[in-house]
Structure 1
């Protein structure tokens, strides 16, 4: 197959969509498919073009994949309006690169939301060029933008959502990563025959329970008697990171000394989180760590922390969850039982505890409870690993997706 992946984020970005699209493109190339990618220079989650890359048009070869980089505008402090301009800049400036793929004649054009702004060009190009079109929804960015107040002009919502529904119906296939997100696709009027489940995955051979203590403990000077509560990933607006600082503050006020918080990541919300943690002695901050050390980093946790805002429930499924589960450690997440995240944590995987979003007292109590119960942490961690092996295997998920692509192209 000739597969054209089209989206704003790609490897070597270490988190979110860039990580997954990079792994997917590499996997398809390894299977012998011809793979091209139209993307931007890496900038996320730091909101700054990475060292070694220029914000210009460029072509590179990466792991058997031809990658076309397109310039874009990257705001230092992304706000609602700035994000829209940022996304629009890539959508517009990438059209020329997309048109240059005309003579290559891909079998399928695959694009991802976010950024939905790329979808009009992707589906139009595919229809005119005789290719199949596939939209993959990682986040329902339109719903999230309004529900979370990133776009405050609510009078626009009806119009924007109508355009979104029309656009989604133009694709030959629409996929998403969770059951609730697939239900939302149906509610938006997408024909059920077009909707495909395509969950996020994890490389269970690369991320697995450690046989020994994580080397990060010694490097960070964390004593063996401390229970590590780890947040690792993007520090952005959908995570509700303020609860982490509030929880750590409650712990310090209660003079609880056996719990060490480690907050690892970068993003638009990190500066605010660091400011909120000023004066607290039970927190360590780390930048995003190299991918080859991800297993060691996740293995540092005794308890993984997974905050999520209530107004983002079921509009996104945190991609970082897959690595947490594969590491074989317990999880404390902010979610209600009626959300998919809550159901996975408490029922499907049975890997930890959930607490009410934005309730720092509940989160503190849950962490204290697990910190005092070694057997519960071990049970939840074992369950997490079993779930990852049975449901989240990268090889299994991508083989299924490959077959879905072949079936689509054959029609």
Structure 2
């Protein structure tokens, strides 16, 4: 099958959407598919173009897949306006290599959201070539923007109405929509996407990588980072941006400074400098910051932690399912998740008791209590590990996804193996 993958984030980005898209393309190529990618130079989560790449010129790479890197504006300090310019710049610059695929005639075009701005272009290419289209939603951009108050008056304002209409038009005019969680499947239905056009395509974990981690590698990493053996490690690893509300982690560390616990924050992002400044101002010796670690070191890093933090602000938790959680579960880690009970994360914790500690978001008191509770749990969380092996194994997830998009009927008469067949999204059953 000829598959064109179109999205702003891609390898060699180590976290988030770029990591998953890169692994998906590599897997598809290994299965014998002819895969091409239209993407941007790596920039996330540092919000800085990767070394050896340019944000100002097109570049073609060959390998397991042919990759076109397209210019874009990368703001050093993202804001609502700057993010819109950032996304628009990629949609414009990528349009030209996208249209150049007309001669190649792909069978499937997979657009990864963000960015939804690219969807009109992929729909046009599909019309010219007869390709089937699929929008894969990693992040509901419009909902996240409205939930975090980035559009002024929200859905009722002019910006909110225009964004919602644009999103609806594009979701209803592609052949299939896939997304990564039960609540996000429900949200697609609320936006008008028919159930037979929905595909459940969760983020995955290379479960085997995290099942048995060499203790010597864990000890070596701990020594390399200079973390004392007698301290319990409370770890946050991933993007340090605006959706997480990580200032509460610093506030929790201030309240718990007398405990033999060390808060370790690993990652990059637009909010890191602000957090480091706040920790210095409070004189916190129990908080350590480190850059994003190589992917090869991730199993040891996760195994080293006694407690993992999955932090999000109220209003963002249901729009975005944190990708970091998949590997935490695979490692059998004990996570403290800040989410309301009605969100995807909240429902996961209710459906699988013991999988994690779920606490009220944006509450320092709830966070400190959750950390204390997680640190009392056995370090190897069997419930989390079993869930990962059953639901999140990379090979199983990608094999099912390829079966789903291969079965989709060009006439639209026969439904895809829909999300409703594999998720009890009407209720709270443990099929998330």
Scaled by the length of structure 2, the TM-score of the pair is 0.90
The DSSP-based 3-state class of the residue aligned with 2:134 is strand
The offset of 1:119, in angstroms, is 0.7
1:314 counterpart = 2:335: no
Corresponding residue of 2:170:
167
Find out whether 1:267 has 2:269 as its counterpart: yes
Hey, what's the Cα distance between the residues in 1 that align with 2:241 and 2:353? 26
* 1:95-133, Cα deviation, whole Å (9 max, x unpaired): 100011110000011001111101110112112210000
Q: Tell me the CA shift for residue 167 of structure 1.
A: 1.1
Query: Does 1:102 find its partner at 2:133?
Result: no
Residue of structure 1 equivalent to 2:249: 244
Comparing 158-167 and 285-294, the one that deviates more? 158-167
Match of 2:337 in 1: 333
Q: Which digits, 9 at most, give the CA deviation of each residue in 1:228-259, with x for residues without a partner?
A: 1100001111111111111111112xx22x11
Q: Give the deviation of 1:224 after TM superposition.
A: 2.5
1:220, distance to aligned residue in structure 2 (A): 2.2
Give the secondary structure class of the aligned counterpart of 1:294: helix
Closer, same or farther: CA 209–244 of 1 in aligned 2, 3 Å: farther
Under a length normalisation based on structure 1, what TM-score does the superposition of the two structures give? 0.95
Q: Deviations over 1:273-310 (max 9, x none)?
A: 11221120001111011111111111111111110111
Q: Residue 37 of structure 1 contacts residue 66 of structure 1 at CA under 8 Å; is this kept in 2? A: yes
Q: Distance in 1 between matches of 2:7 and 2:153?
A: 26
Answering whether residue 143 of structure 2 is matched by residue 143 of structure 1, we say: yes
**Greater CA drift, 10-19 or 311-320:** 311-320
Deviation, 1:210, is: 2.6
Structure 1 residues 385 and 16: alpha-carbon distance in aligned structure 2, compared to 1, 3 A threshold: same
Partner of 1:31: 31
CA distance in 1, matches of 2:115, 2:268: 20
Alignment of 1:398 onto 2:398: yes
Alignment partner of 2:301 out of 297, 300, 303: 297
8 Å contact kept, 1:107–1:409: no
Aligned runs of 1:349-364 on 2, under 5 Å? 350-364=354-368
Q: CA RMSD in A?
A: 1.4
Query: How many residue pairs end up in the alignment?
Result: 403
SS at match of 1:337: coil
Residue 280, structure 1, aligned to residue 300, structure 2: no
Structure 2 segments unaligned to the other structure (5+ residues):
412-432
Q: Is the 8 A contact 2:102 2:128 kept in 1?
A: no
Instruction: Say whether 1:220 aligns with 2:225.
Output: yes
Q: Does 1:324 align with 2:328?
A: yes
Residue 347 of structure 1 deviates from its aligned partner by 2.9
Residue 209 of structure 1, CA deviation: 4.4
Which deviates further from its counterpart, 220-229 or 93-102?
A: 220-229
TM superposition shift of 1:346: 4.3
Matched, 1:88 2:88: yes
> Following the alignment from structure 1 to structure 2, what is the Cα–Cα distance between the partners of residues 300 and 266?
20
Matched residue SS, 2:207: coil
Pick closer, same or farther for the CA change 1:277–1:209 going to 2, 3 Å.
farther
Match of 2:22 in 1: 22
